[in-house]
Amino acid sequence: MNEEVMKVLKMVEEGKIDSQKAAELISLFNSKEQEKINETKEKMFKIIVKSSKGDNVNINVPVKFISTLGAAIKKLPKVEGVEGLEEIDIQAILKAVSEGLEGKIVDIKSENGDIVEVVVE
């Protein structure tokens, strides 16, 4: 149970509000949570790798699927000849995205001409 609901239940227990008001508050919290879910429903988490050697990678994952990935993804897949991928903390990115971060998150351009981008749009 989330923190807001626990606070409302505590207020009922202490006699500060009645059950009707508690139900209204909990309903409000639930509707705000649903709005947040709906906002991220259509967004995509994109990983784009353009290698100077032609080893290009395009990964598109719905943001709503990000939380399911969790610990399954530790780092980006290794692409031979593309430098900079090992520097990316994918767990930190996934956490930020699940909390609402959007736009270009990672933009790496190596001196070899390799490009790595992580975008939420």
Region 81-110 average pLDDT: 74
pLDDT, one tens digit per residue, over 47-71 is 888 888 888 888 888 877 766 666 5
Residues contacting residue 37 through CB under 8 Å, at least 6 positions apart: 64
Residues contacting residue 42 through CB under 8 Å, at least 6 positions apart: none
CA distance 53 to 116: 13
Confidence (pTM):
0.50
pLDDT, one tens digit per residue, over 20-50 is 988 888 888 887 776 666 665 577 888 888 8
CA distance 68 to 70: 5
Whether residue 75 is predicted with pLDDT greater than 60 in this model: the reply is no
| C-alpha atoms less than 13 angstroms from C-alpha of 31 in its C-beta half-sphere | 6
Per-chain mean pLDDT for the chain: 77
pLDDT of residue 14: 92
